[in-house]
Amino acid sequence: MRNLPVLFDGYSLTVTEPPEPKTFEDDNGKAVLATDRDGNQMFVVSLFVKQRRTEEGGRRPKGEEIRVTLEIDPGEEFGDGDQVELVNPRVSPYQMTNANGVVTNSGISFRASTVKRAGTSFE
């Protein structure tokens, strides 16, 4: 299953690396801008995700840093420490295999339409 909706209610999302164009290295080691199937440029942002509330007397669990691919340019400047929300966040499992069919890497990837400042509306 791909593009499973994710709810971040009850979690704070803090920018650790501001949004920037997503790139990958081609066979020659040159950085190339990543685009979707329609040729639209993609972006990536790093966020620290941590639970907001805890049960009485309990401690908040440790947070986790995630990288999120954005489909729409967030447009405005975001800096380290800014509190944000993801618009239409989703998660997909992935796995990579080598030429012999052996799984070399697997995990989940995060994707969203874009990112916005916490508490603001997306237009």
Q: Which of 13, 15, 28, 9 is nearest to 79 (CA)?
A: 15
Mean pLDDT of 102-119: 93
Mean pLDDT of 4-9: 94
Mean pLDDT of 24-43: 92
Yes or no: say if 98 and 104 are a contact pair by the CB < 8 Å rule.
Answer: yes
Domains of the chain (ranges; CATH) run 4-117 (2.40.50.140)
Task: Supply the mean pLDDT for the chain.
Answer: 91
| Amino acid identity for residue 105 in this structure | N
For the CA atoms of 40, 77, 119, 11, the dihedral, rounded to the nearest 10 degrees, stands at 80
Instruction: Report pLDDT for 121.
Output: 74
Alpha helices in the chain (DSSP H): none
Instruction: Report pLDDT for 55.
Output: 65
Kindly report the pTM of this predicted structure: 0.85
Contacts of 6 (CB under 8 A, 6+ apart): 86, 89, 90, 91, 110
- Name residue, tokens 């709810």: 7
Joined together, the tokens standing for residue 24 give 């990958």
Residue 76 pLDDT more than 90? Answer: no
Residue 57 pLDDT more than 70? Answer: no
Instruction: Report pLDDT for 123.
Output: 63
DSSP reduced 3-state for 21: strand
Instruction: Report pLDDT for 8.
Output: 94
